[in-house]
Structure 1
Amino acid sequence: MVGADRAHSPKQPSPLHSVSVAGAVVRDDGRMLAIRRADNGRWELPGGVLEIEEAPEGGVRREVLEETGVEVEVGRLTGVYKNMARGIVALVFRCHPVGGTAQTSDEAAAVSWLTPDEVAASMTEAYAVRLLDAIGDNPPYVRIHDGQRLVTS
């Protein structure tokens, strides 16, 4: 009887996740595109929420262009990152700039091409790793974080 009762009991709804996309835009000289967010002043890579009707690659192109004025060719997936505190899953793709001019926007108070050392020094660990993971030809990383630091499982 317990099994039958369990089968008919109302199921709890699953928590919802948000999916975001970001571009790890790397120039031929190794410098990486970063923005200082207008809302919180933190340095991050350009990206945002994936819209329902968008493919991930299209979302990356849109977000990078909207936030930085840089047009990109989207390459391979370099990592999947989950913010455990906020339930956000971010897909990060390595990109190559193909046009446009880096400029600020409503979302980016500053736009800069940073060296890997500058990325590590100016970003929180949870965001720096997204750009640094895009260097090289490693398989995609899967990492979790609390919004600031990586979390080990």
Structure 2
Amino acid sequence: MSRRDYEDDPNAPAANSLVPAASAVVVDDSGRILLQRRRDNGMWALPGGAMHIGESLPECAMRETREETGFDIEIVGIVGTYSNPRHVFAYDDGEVRQVFSICFLARPAGGQLSVSEESTDVRWFEPEEIDTLPMVPSIRKRVNDWRDGNMPAAR
């Protein structure tokens, strides 16, 4: 299923769902960040996704990271809360989801790089390499919030 992101777009469809979600800025000991190339829109993104019933938001971030990148992670902080009501994802099935996501700071705790049904590529990037990557504005904001020092680096 593909999706289209709308942010501050007057032509965006009206939201018809709100789903809690979590993502993770995963930083290794060298200061590199883990990103995945999404299959549904071809853009580079943080690992993350919708929370399941019966799990916490940190557990959601850990599960999504493992599923999408092959890495287990340890949560070490929070990058931020993202809930812009003018940012929606429109899916092929008619769902138009308003964004509500907590972005966690994490470090790898095991595993190895692997792609999933949701990703076509998974890589570690130096922070300065990110600027040229195709990325939706809301993900770039999360990465920049971490990179610009709005929160502590993982150690």
TM-score computed with the length of structure 2 as normaliser: 0.74
Q: Is 1:121 aligned to residue 132 of structure 2?
A: yes
In the TM superposition, 1:29-40 aligns within 5 A as 29-40=30-41
Query: Where does residue 55 of structure 1 map in the other structure?
Result: 56
CA RMSD of aligned residues (A): 1.9
1:85 is aligned, of 79, 87, 97, to 87
Corresponding residue of 1:19:
20
Instruction: State the 1:136 CA deviation.
Output: 7.0
Query: Conserved in 2, the CA contact under 8 Å of 1:39 and 1:107?
Result: yes
Bigger Rg, which one:
1
Contact 2:145/2:151, CA 8 A, preserved across alignment: no
TM-score with structure 1 length normalisation?
A: 0.75
The 1-side partners of 2:34 and 2:24 are apart by 9
Structure 1 position 94 matched with structure 2 position 137: no
1:72-104 CA-to-partner distances (Å, cap 9, x unmatched) read 001111111124232111100000001000111
CA distance in 1, matches of 2:108, 2:148: 17
Which has the bigger relative contact order, CA under 8 A and spacing at least 6?
2
Runs of 4+ in 1 over 4 A off after TM superposition: none
Instruction: Look up the equivalent residue of 1:131 and give its one-letter code.
Output: V
Aligned to 1:46: 47
Unaligned runs of 5+ in 2: 1-15, 89-97
Q: Is the 8 A contact 1:23 1:95 kept in 2?
A: yes
Q: Does structure 2 conserve the Cα–Cα contact (< 8 Å) formed by 1:81 and 1:89?
A: yes
Q: Please, which runs of 5 or more residues in structure 1 have no aligned partner? A: 1-14, 141-153
Distance 1:92 1:59, change over 3 A: same
Q: What percentage of aligned pairs have identical amino acids?
A: 34
